[in-house]
Structure 1
Amino acid sequence: MPALGFNPMRWDCQTQGCFNKKCRPKIEVFAECFPRRINFGDVDGSIEINGYELKLEWKNTGHADIKGGQRATVTRYLNKQRLPKPEIMLAIQDATDGAVAPADWYPEPTGKAA
């Protein structure tokens, strides 16, 4: 499948191997450090232009909900309003073909963060 657009990672799995196996941090080494099986999260995508910020959260098809700690983090981020218009877009990706579809927006805080 040919590349679609700009690839800022400059990684070619065909010639360099699986990025996840070769380069992803092995965060499982911290598994015993935190209670309740919590662990590090990640930022799937973020861009800021002139004080406006958009964060992207990627989920695979069938796993679209933002729950638990991730939901609390989103709520805290939106309530703090460090930038004029923070927005979070939940995007769904079909891992088999890389097709992406916007699924939901979180422009307003929903509920209280714990």
Structure 2
Amino acid sequence: MAITDRFVNDFKERMRIGDYEDDNLKRILEASEQDLLSKCGEFDIESHHGFRELVYERARYVYNDALEFFNANFQSQINALGMEKALSMILVDDDGNEIGVVQE
């Protein structure tokens, strides 16, 4: 999913940043979204609050030139999203028995 102006504006408001960096912020947010999609699986930034928050946090670290600390500081959230995605792929029958895995 592409980062829209709405996400850029939300991030600017959150970080108290003026309008002078929109293009840079959009690149940072897009890179953050792509990095987290590769680590956690497919999530919709529009509808999944936890994923959106993690994208914003990674972008904050990039903006503040501290990206090297992000993975360690947010490892539990990254793992939780990965587990959520993995569990959502398991097919179960009406009795709760695993019957397969969704193929993407």
- Fold agreement, TM-score > 0.5: no
In terms of fraction of residues, the more strand-rich structure is 1
TM-score (norm 2): 0.26
Between structures 1 and 2, the one with greater helix share: 2
TM norm structure 1: 0.25
